[in-house]
Structure 1
Amino acid sequence: MQRLVQLALDLFDPPGPQERAAGASPSVAGLPTEKIKPERPVALIDKAQEAPETGASAALPSAAPAPALASLLSPAEFRHPQANREVLLGDALVAYALQRVRRRSIGFTVGADGLAVRAPSWVTLSAVDAALREKSGWILRKLNESRERQQRIEGGRIAWGHGAQLPYLGEALTVVLDPTHGFIGKGGALHGGSEDAGGTSLRIGLPHSASPAQIRDAVQAWLMRDARRHFTARLDHFAPLLDVRWTSLRLSSAQTRWGSAKADGSIRLNWRLLHYRPAIIDYVVAHELAHLRVMDHSPRFWGTVATVVPDYPVLRNALREQPAPLWE
C-alpha cells in the first residue's frame, strides 16, 4: 500500500488555551508538529526534541535520500527507557516506546531518551514499523545527534568544589573559595579578566570544607543576582528600540524554555542564559520583547526581531547547539 508520510519540524510550541487567555507568548523551546492533510488514512509526523532552543520552522523533505547508514550506526543500538517494541532500521536495533492514542496519524519524537511513537489503536504494529523504516535515515540521524548532545551535556557537568569551572557570559569562570572575605550583601565577587593569565574567578566566602551542595547554591545565588542585573540592562536597551514597554522581570529555572512574555509586559528569563555570550542573551531578550508586539512566531514576528538583532538565525542556532552545563 502506498503510504503518504509527512514530516514537519517546528521549533516552537504554540500557546495553549490558558496561555492565549493570559496573553502569554509561545514557548521559546517548544516542539509542535505541523499538521498536513493526509491523502491516505495513515500519516507519519515526526519531530526532534532538543535542549532549550529558539528557531523558526523548517520542513524536512520527505523525498530526500537517507544518509549512509554506515555513518549513523556507532553504536548500533538505541533503547528508550520505556521501550516496549523493537525494530531494525538498517543495521541498527531501535527499541522504542509505543503508545496507543486517539489520533488520526502516527507521530514519533526523537528526544534524549530515544524514539517514542504514538499511534492510533487501529493501526497495525507492522504498519507502524513500516512507517518507521520508511524514514529510517532521518530517525537514525536524529538519534545519533541526540545521543551526541547528551554526551556533550554530561561532559560539561560541573564538579562543585574549589577550582570548579563553569561558563559565564561565554568565558571560563573559576570558582575560588575565599573564607577570609564576607562578601556582605553580594555572596561573592568577580576577580581578574580574560586578559589575565589566571582568567576570571568568582570568589565565594566559603571554607574549603564546604560541601558541593553549599558551593553550588552559593554560586547559583550570585549568578541569579547578576542575571537580574544583566537582563534588566538589556531589556532597558532593547525596549525603546522595539517601541514596547516591559513591566516586570522574573527569573526562571525551567529546563525546556529560555523565556516567555505576556501581553501585560511581564517578562520571564532563564537565569542560566548567563552561561552564554552576551550576543546570545541579547537575542533571547529581544525575542521576548518582540512578543509584546507580535504574540506568535509568524514572519511578522521574525521581521520584528531582525530589526534589532539582524543575525538572530546564527545566534538561535548557537543557543541550540551549545547546551548549558549540568548543575546537579
Structure 2
Amino acid sequence: MADSGRVGYNRPRYFKEVNPMTVTVIRHKRRKRAAFFVTPDGIELRIPARLPNRVVETILSNHAGWIAERLAALPKRDVLPDDRLLLHGETFPLIKCDSETTFRFDGERFYCPLAWDESSLREAYVAWLRERALTYVTTRAPHYERMLGVKANRIRIGHQKTRWGSCSSTGTISINVRLMLAPKEVMDYVIAHEWAHLVHFDHSKAFWSTLASVYPDVTGAMAWLKQYGHTLQIKKTN
C-alpha cells in the first residue's frame, strides 16, 4: 500500500452526537466462519447460518475486550440539526418555504416546500444526491481513465451498507451515494480505487502501485474512511 504520510481531510462538520454503537449478529447461509466487521451501524459479527448460539456467545465473550476498544476508538455518530443538510463534508442551511415547489440547492442553501414531512424531504434529498453523485463520478472518471488507459463499461450509483464502491468483471463500476457526504478528496479516492481495478482486478501490490500513481494520498483517504466512514448516513431528523 502506498504511504504518503499525510492525512489531510477534515472531520465531518456535524453537530449533535447520538448514543454509542452496538454489536449485531448476522447469520449468512454461505459464510463458512465467523468474522467481525465495523459498519455504519456499529460492529457486526457475521456467522454461518447454523452456528450454535452457545458458540456465538463464546465468540462475543472472548472478544469482549477487542469490541470495547473498537467501539471506544470510533467517534460517536453525529446527526445533522433540523435546519441543515450535508454535502461534500460541509453543512448548508435548509430553507422551508411556501414559495418552493421542489427540492433544490443554489450552491449556498437547500430549499424545499414548507409542507413536506420528514419522509418527503428524505426521499427528495436521496434522489438529489444520487443525481449529483452520478454527475460527479462521470465528470471525474475521464481524468482517471486517461491516466490508466481504461474505460468503464457502465457507471451506477448504489446505496450499499458496507462497501464504498465495486468493480465487476464486466467493467461495471458502482459508487456509494453516501460518499457525497464525505469531502471531495475522499470520494475521488474511491473513484480512483475502482477505476484502478479495471487494470488490476485484485488487491495485489501491482494494484496498489497503480492506484498510488493516480491518487498519491491513498493512506490519508483510507484513514479518513476508517475513522469517519460510519458517520456518513443519509438521514434527516426533525
Q: Same fold per TM (> 0.5)?
A: yes
- 8 Å CA contact 1:115–1:143 kept in 2: the answer is no
How far 1:269 sits from its partner (Å)? 0.9
Q: Using CA pairs below 8 Å that are at least 6 residues apart, which structure has the higher relative contact order? A: 2
Q: What per-residue deviation string (whole Å, max 9, x for no partner) do you get for residues 104-157 of structure 1?
A: xx8552655668496998xx97xx57x92xx76544312433xx44xx22x32x
CA distance in 2, matches of 1:238, 1:201: 31
- State which structure, 1 or 2, has the greater radius of gyration over its C-alpha atoms: 1
Match of 2:155 in 1: 249
Matched AA of 2:155: L
Corresponding residue to 1:236 among 113, 126, 142: 142
210 and 138 in structure 1: CA distance in 2 versus 1, 3 angstrom threshold: closer
Percent of aligned pairs sharing the same letter: 25
Deviation at 1:210, TM superposition (A): 1.5
Q: What aligned pairs does 1:125-274 form with structure 2 within 5 A after superposition?
A: 132=62, 137-145=65-73, 148-149=74-75, 152-153=76-77, 155-156=78-79, 158=80, 163=83, 165-182=84-101, 187-191=103-107, 200-204=108-112, 206=113, 208-274=114-180
Displacement after TM superposition at 1:278 (Å): 1.1
Which structure shows the bigger proportion of residues in helix conformation?
2
- Given that residues 88 and 180 in structure 2 are in contact (C-alpha distance below 8 angstroms), is that contact kept between their aligned partners in structure 1? yes
Counterpart of 1:299?
A: 205
Alpha carbons 2:85, 2:91 under 8 Å: kept: yes
The within-5 A match list for 1:50-65 is none
1:175 shift after superposition: 1.7
Letter in 2 for 1:109: F
TM-score with structure 1 length normalisation? 0.53
Task: Please state how far the C-alpha of 1:247 moved relative to its aligned partner.
Answer: 2.2
Counterpart Cα distance in 1 of 2:120 and 2:135: 23
For residue 169 of structure 1, report the CA deviation from its aligned partner. 1.2
In the alignment, structure 2 segments of 5+ residues that lack a partner are: 3-20
Provide the secondary structure at the position in 2 that maps to 1:305.
helix
| CA spacing shift, 1:298–1:171, aligned 2, 3 Å | same
CA contact (8 A) 2:98 2:115 kept: no
- Alignment size in residue pairs: 208
Q: Which runs of 5+ in 1 are unaligned?
A: 1-54, 57-77, 83-96, 192-199
Alpha-carbon spacing, 1:80–1:230, altered in 2? closer, same or farther (3 Å):
closer
Query: Partner residue of 1:281?
Result: 187
**Residues 1:324 and 2:232 aligned together:** yes
Residues 210 and 181 from structure 1, CA distance in 2 versus in 1: closer, same or farther, beyond 3 angstroms?
Answer: closer
Matched, 1:312 2:218: yes
Provide the rounded CA distance (Å) in 2 between the counterparts of 1:113 and 1:292: 31
Q: Distance in 2 between matches of 1:289 and 1:296?
A: 12
